[in-house]
A = this chain, B = another copy of it.
């Protein structure tokens, strides 16, 4: 179930900034441009770089756009009445933010950059219009939503702290590897321990402890902002029950 790139070699949009974007081959925003070349320049969705901590939208804001991540990392999160923050998802280059808002009139969560990020805003109405024009893009859209659903369902299971963290690390490694960012199984942790903990339904202390155990076992080399995987097999075995590492499933940039 492979997907062909959405662009053609001599597409007029390539003149714009989109064509130079690292992820344009798999970008839905780029595809929208391709469908509407009359509306050049093709970088009309492009926004200035979003700084760490800046918000893209807030919970309750009117749902108007789907956001495509070009670079960096974004988290979505909710805050309950006691002020507890809960991270619902991390979004890396190629991901779309706001898909869980389509069934509503407003966003169900806040979206905030956890690293300097480049984001494109796609008007939802225009996006759906383009989907009808471009069968390839419709396919890609369904794939992206299916992927998100699959990951959410997989990770929502009842696993040990070790299993969930192992799965998370391997998923990150896989994503970064496909972006060509990985050298020697070296992962860059763009998000804080606290955010990882919240995402995995664990306490930050637990993250520290588990990483400590992994390190003591010689499976990883842990540093605050980066992390090196030394024993992929051990982590894979541990993470297997979570099920998001199945190779037949393309959960990467291109999915």
Residues of A within 8 A of B (CB): 1, 63, 78, 80-81, 86, 88-89, 99-106, 108, 128, 131-132, 135, 138-139, 141-150, 152-158, 201, 240-241, 243, 246, 248-251, 255
Residue of B nearest to A241 (CB): B80
Residues on B with beta carbons closer than 8 Å to the beta carbon of A144: 103
- Does the CB pair A248–B104 fall under 8 Å? yes
Q: How far is the CB of A231 from chain B (nearest CB, A)?
A: 20
Query: With A105-B1, A149-B100 in contact, do A128 and B135 touch (Cβ < 8 Å)?
Result: yes
- Does the CB pair B158–A201 fall under 8 Å? yes
Report the bound CA distance from A63 to B246 in whole Å.
15
- Does the CB pair A99–B149 fall under 8 Å? yes
Residue of B nearest to A152 (CB): B152
Report the bound CA distance from A178 to B23 in whole Å.
43
Identical subunits present: 2
- Does the CB pair A103–B143 fall under 8 Å? yes
- Does the CB pair A241–B81 fall under 8 Å? yes
Interface centre among A63, A80, A144, A146, by most chain B C-beta atoms within 10 angstroms, is: A146
Q: How far is the CB of A88 from chain B (nearest CB, A)?
A: 5
Residue of B nearest to A250 (CB): B103
Residues on B with beta carbons closer than 8 Å to the beta carbon of A103: 1, 143-144, 146-147, 150, 249-251, 255
- Does the CB pair A135–B132 fall under 8 Å? yes
Residues on B with beta carbons closer than 8 Å to the beta carbon of A81: 240-241
Report the bound CA distance from A98 to B204 in whole Å.
35
Report the bound CA distance from A138 to B143 in whole Å.
14
Task: Pull 27 A–B residue pairs with CB atoms less than 8 Å apart, ordered by A.
Answer: A1-B103, A86-B157, A88-B157, A89-B153, A100-B150, A100-B153, A101-B146, A102-B142, A102-B146, A103-B146, A103-B150, A103-B250, A103-B251, A103-B255, A104-B246, A104-B250, A108-B153, A108-B243, A108-B249, A128-B135, A128-B138, A128-B139, A131-B138, A132-B138, A142-B145, A152-B152, A152-B153
5 nearest A-B pairs in the assembled complex, by CB-CB distance: A156-B156, A102-B146, A158-B201, A152-B152, A103-B146
- Does the CB pair A105–B153 fall under 8 Å? no
Partner of A156, one of B143, B155, B246, B251: B155
Residues on B with beta carbons closer than 8 Å to the beta carbon of A1: 63, 103-105
Residues on B with beta carbons closer than 8 Å to the beta carbon of A86: 157-158
